[in-house]
Structure 1
Amino acid sequence: MYRIIAAVLAAASLAEAAGAQTAPSPGLPAASAASQTAPIFTLDSALAAGGMSPSPSAANISSTTRPLGGPSAAPTSLPSVAAATAGVDAATAARRVAGLRPNPELQSQVENIAGSGVYKGLRSSETTVGVALPLELGGKRPARVALATARLTRAQIQAEIARADLRLRIIQLYIEAAAAERRADVLAEQASIAANAFRASRERVTAGDVGPIEQQRADVLRINAQVAAESAARQAQAARTNLATLLNAPVTGPLDQAWFDRVDGYGPPRPIEVEGTLTLAAAEADVRTADAQVRVAKSLRVPDLTVSTFARRLQATGDTAAVVGISIPIPLFNNGSAFVAQSRSEQTVAVAQRNLAVIDTRQAIASAQAEVANAAATARAAGGPGLAAAQEAARIARIGWAQGKFDQIALLDAERTLSQTRQTYVDALAAYHDAQARLDRLTTPAPLVSGDNR
């Protein structure tokens, strides 16, 4: 009779653990009653806290409507975005500087003083006062403005790249936090099952159904499962802290596990034109900057003129005369050809890097598409028939072990298979969302920027 009571108690303990593991969904994070009532901290909430719009398209629409040289986006706590925003402001100021003309010079000189004879003192001095005005020739100012405009466009694109990278980082940290909490939940449930299995083993040893070695084995598994669960809980807390640190805002409430479980339909990879992406826009901006630099180098080969006009007073006679002058530099030692050659070489480099960026971007998009498809297939298999089969196998093993039909090795193997399947499912979901986020980053369209060459 005592053995029958022990078997019933063992079956009841494992059935309770099985019910906790299978309801209500495969791996929702364990949360307190207070956190269950708190609003869900969604991915859109995280993006909004980081100054990002919920959808990439909305972010790009806002960037396309910002005028060239206009006010930049709201400052963010991430240094890279703050630096890129400051870079736009600096490039805007540099463009204003490039459009300025050379300043005139006020010149004055006194001749024929402190000499001897009639030139002693100031009796025969000649005082000249005038203005010299540099005249830029060869289209230097338009070329300079065009170069500054190209650099401003490049700075604006770099600011959009920094924001896109921030968006990707926020999404990846959110994925990491959601996956860590899911893994913590899986291992916490496994620790609960191991604890129940230990109690059941102790009851069976007391009833004399099995030897003490079974209880010792179950105790070791219970301890290891508890340590793994505590470690996973710390990892989950660290992931949530990292997300809060990046956002510079508290992350309260449960994360959106419904979003984490969702795997959108994914068919054959669709062709994506890389020409309109941020990466290619940056490479094209570098080419335009190099072209403008060549134009500046060519304009510098044309010497500038300096026209001056003076009024000269002759102290000896008290008369006043006008003096007109013109100066032209002689390009004897530096005629500008070396600078033109340097600029053309840099132009060749920019074109080659643009062509390389096209190849690299296409390869990166193809790889990301394959990773999205593979992770989606793995998640569907691990979270669908694979998880169902593992859960059923574990349920049968628990019942059979409680009734003495299966040994403890079979039960442990079924439980280990179920735990590994659930963790594989979590890993596949995390890999799917991460690959999808990286694919979205690679295919982020470039903003439309317009230059003013006045």
Structure 2
Amino acid sequence: MHRLFAALLAATACASIAQAQTTPSAEAGPGQPQSTSPALAGPSFTVDRALELAGVVSPALEAASADVRAAEAGRQVAGLRPNPSVTVEAENVGGSGQYRGTRSLEATTSLTLPIELGGKRSARIAVADARTDRAAIQAAIAQADLRISVVRAYAEAASAERRLVTAHDQARIANETLRAAQVRVQAGRASPIEVQRADVARVNADAALLREERTLEVARFSLSRIIGQPISGPLDADWFSHVPAIYGPLRPIESAGTLVMAAADADLAIADASVRLARSQRVPDLTVGAGARRLEQTNDTAAIFSLSIPIPLFNNGRAALSQASAERQRADAQRRVTALDVDQAIARAQADAANAATSAAAASGPALAAAEEAARIARIGYREGKFGQLDLLDAERTLAATRAAAIDALLSYHIAQAQLERLTARAPVTQGE
């Protein structure tokens, strides 16, 4: 056992020096074994291509676009003025005596036109403009949500590909270890129990390989559903392996102008415009009319003018104004709550991304190189009879755990980075700005 520990220390020192002097190759990034699966051959399918395809078939984007069109149509409706009305009246018809028939007919034709007072039309337009801006922001939110969904699904599929490659490599190593154990037992240098241990390890490795194949199939299917077509070729391993160096304190928090804050600001703008509309509706409108009356008996015509003003006796609009004012207060308070939540969420997302990057760099760098070197030395020493089988199995388990930790760290980094980009995404410039 002490010889294996010495080999581990030596491998760690060598890996640290190599890590400082060289960079990972493009063919096999950190944590990626050299062997590849034949099913994943061909040109890589990039995350940019996945985002492009998802944007074409996404029902969420289609719904958001329909909302924008509906809001724009609502803006046109809000700017329309009330329609005039034509009224035709016939009096003194079908009575008795001199009013029998149409001899005393008085026919009146008039045109009435409602006149809005108190700025109702401009207030409606303001509400419609605010809702149009909110729909545009919601469309941008839908795009940002789609992006994080695609990146998450892509990263999970890429990690599944990496785990499958690792499982292939572990299965190959398990078979080689079994053959080495059989040779040692046949030569009389080891107990037959070593063959049984190696065979158990081989069975477990083959079972893990089957599980990873199913996991990859499900992950690629999930991604294909989002982009609307099957995926051909492997995913971009270089993108999955790339982790930038993140040092120093967190960046300043700038929640103003983000999508979340823009949505809260738009909700407040709608509430402000609604208060103005409720206030304008307390002013009664006028209805003016003009027409002509024809008298059948004398064949004369007379002009008629009318003016009507509603009396706000039962509904003076005060309750509607109180409701709009309360909703405005709620929107303002909700905006302040959102500002606090967004600042905290961005800070947590920055920390998560930085911690995941640190973990990925550590697990994919010297630690993984040392584990691979220690396992290699243990295999050579086991074949030559210098190390026992338990030492070999311990080194292989360490290598497998380090590879899994590296893949998990890379997946956590990409998900955390996508979440941070979602929280800090900038809002589009709307017509109200």
Same structural fold, with TM-score higher than 0.5 when normalized by the shorter chain:
yes
* Mapped pair 1:372 → 2:377: no
SS of 1:338's equivalent in the other structure is: helix
Residues 165-180 of structure 1: pairs in structure 2 closer than 5 A: 165-180=145-160
Number of the residue aligned with 1:341: 322
SS at match of 1:227: helix
Q: 3-state SS of the aligned residue for 2:57? A: coil
Q: CA deviation at 1:198?
A: 1.5
The alpha carbon displacement at 1:24 in A equals 5.0
Superposition deviation, residue 253 in structure 1: 2.1
What is the alpha-carbon distance in structure 2 between the residues aligned to residue 224 and residue 443 of structure 1? 44
Same amino acid, percent of matched pairs: 53
* Larger displacement relative to structure 2 (398-407 or 182-191): 398-407
Distance in 1, Cα, partners of 2:159 & 2:415: 11
Q: Alignment partner for residue 72 of structure 2, among 92, 102, 119?
A: 92
- What is the TM-score with the length of structure 2 in the denominator? 0.90
Q: How much does 1:244 deviate?
A: 1.8
RMSD: 1.8
CA distance in 2, matches of 1:345, 1:188: 63
One-letter amino acid of the counterpart of residue 183, structure 2: E
Q: Distance in 2 between matches of 1:359 and 1:261?
A: 34
After superposition, residues 286-325 of structure 1 pair within 5 angstroms as 286-325=267-306
Q: 1:27 aligns with which of 29, 32, 41?
A: 32
SS of the counterpart of 1:41? coil
Cα contact 2:356–2:413 (8 A) shared by 1: yes
| Further displaced range: 229-238 or 139-148 | 229-238
Match in the other structure for 2:396: 415
> Which whole-Å deviations, capped at 9, do the CAs of 1:330-384 have from their partners, x for residues lacking one?
1111100010010011101111111111111111111111111111111111111
- SS of 1:274's equivalent in the other structure is coil
Q: How does 1:101-180 map to 2 (within 5 A)?
A: 101-180=81-160
Equivalent residue pairs, number: 406
Question: Which residue of 229, 241, 261 corresponds with 1:249?
Answer: 229
Q: Distance in 1 between matches of 2:229 and 2:34?
A: 22
Counterpart for residue 423 of structure 2:
442
Unpaired runs of 5+ residues, structure 2, are: 1-24
Aligned AA (2:254) = E
Deviations 1:223-272, CA, capped at 9 Å, x for gaps: 11111111112211221222122111332222211121111121221103
Conserved? CA contact 1:41–1:256, under 8 Å:
yes
CA contact (8 A) 2:44 2:236 kept: yes
User: Structure 1 residues 241, 199: CA separation in 2 closer, same or farther (over 3 Å shift)?
Assistant: same
| C-alpha distance in 1 between matches for 2:192 and 2:164 | 31
Which is further off, 249-258 or 356-365? Answer: 249-258
SS of the equivalent of 2:230 reads: coil
**1:178 alignment partner AA:** A
Matched with 2:3 is: none
Q: Corresponding residue for 1:285?
A: 266
Answer yes or no: is 1:258 the counterpart of 2:238. yes
1:41 aligns with 2:22: no
User: Aligned runs of 1:173-212 on 2, under 5 Å?
Assistant: 173-212=153-192
Residues 24 and 277 of structure 1, relative CA distance in 2, 3 Å threshold: closer
Residues 167-200 of structure 1, C-alpha deviations (whole Å, 9 max, x = no match): 1111111111111100111111111111111122
Cα distance 1:34–1:179, how it changes in 2: closer, same or farther (>3 A)? closer
Tell me if structure 1 keeps the 8 A contact 2:292–2:302: yes
The one-letter code matched in structure 2 to 1:135 is I
Is the CA contact 2:349–2:420 (under 8 Å) kept in the aligned structure 1?
yes
Instruction: Indicate conservation of the 8 Å contact 2:37/2:165, yes or no.
Output: no
Native 8 Å contact 1:136 1:304 kept in 2: yes
Give how far 1:34 is off: 8.5
* TM-score, normalised relative to structure 1: 0.86
1:189-225 CA-partner distances (Å, limit 9, x unpaired):
1111111111222222223322332212211211111
Q: Distance in 2 between matches of 1:111 and 1:401?
A: 117
Judge conservation of contact 2:158–2:235 (CA < 8 Å) in 1.
Answer: yes
Query: Aligned with 1:133: secondary structure?
Result: strand
Q: Structure 1: give runs of 5+ residues left out of the alignment.
A: 1-21, 52-75
Q: What amino acid is the match of 1:402?
A: R
Instruction: Choose 326-335 or 315-324, whichever is displaced more.
Output: 315-324
In 1, the alpha carbon distance for the partners of 2:296 and 2:214 equals 92
**Which of 394, 399, 406 is the matching residue for 2:387?**
406
| Distance change in 2, residues 1:378/1:451 (3 Å) | closer
CA distances 1:124-148 after superposition (whole Å, capped 9, x unpaired)? 1211111100000000000000100
Measured after TM superposition, the shift of residue 405 of structure 1 is 2.9
What residue in structure 1 maps to residue 213 of structure 2? Answer: 233
CA contact (8 A) 1:29 1:181 kept: no
* 8 Å Cα contact 2:157/2:219 also seen in 1: yes
Query: Contact 2:92 / 2:105 at 8 angstroms: preserved in 1?
Result: yes
Deviation string for 1:400-424 (max 9, x for gaps)? 2222232222211110110000110
Partners of 1:350 and 1:265 lie apart in 2 by 41
